[in-house]
Amino acid sequence: MTAAVTDDYLRTILEVAARDASIARVLREICALESGVRGSALDLVGAHLRATAAADVLDCVQALRRDEVARAIVDRLGPPG
């Protein structure tokens, strides 16, 4: 994933979070996790969504694995709690 794509995904993710507090809450929780734990949690989410979700949703789940994306989301949305 290139930096430009990462910026686009990040912008889109933050726009959705701004419109839906429940999504913002989940993003805060997931993105605040240590990288390995976050990856395991996203493996479970991806496995659950794989059969029903659109490709762009799965791409978003993949983007959340990136430390720089997770850090940027926590920086923008704040820590959980």
Per-residue pLDDT, 4: 60
Q: What is the pLDDT of residue 57?
A: 87
Domain assignment of residue 14, given as a range: 3-77
Encode 15-24: b = buried (16+ Cβ within 10 Å), e = exposed. eebeeeeeeb
pLDDT above 70: residue 25: yes
Predicted pLDDT at 26: 94
Note the pTM of the prediction, 2 decimals. 0.83
- pLDDT for 78: 93
C-alpha triplet 61, 55, 21: angle, nearest 5°: 45
In this predicted model, what pLDDT tens digit does every residue of 37-69 receive, in sequence order?
A: 999 999 999 999 998 999 888 888 888 999 999
- Confidence at residue 71, expressed as pLDDT on a 0 to 100 scale: 93
Q: Report d(CA 68, CA 19) in Å as an integer.
A: 22
- Spatial distance between the Cα atoms of 61 and 39, rounded to a whole number of angstroms: 10
Structural domain tally of the chain?
Answer: 1
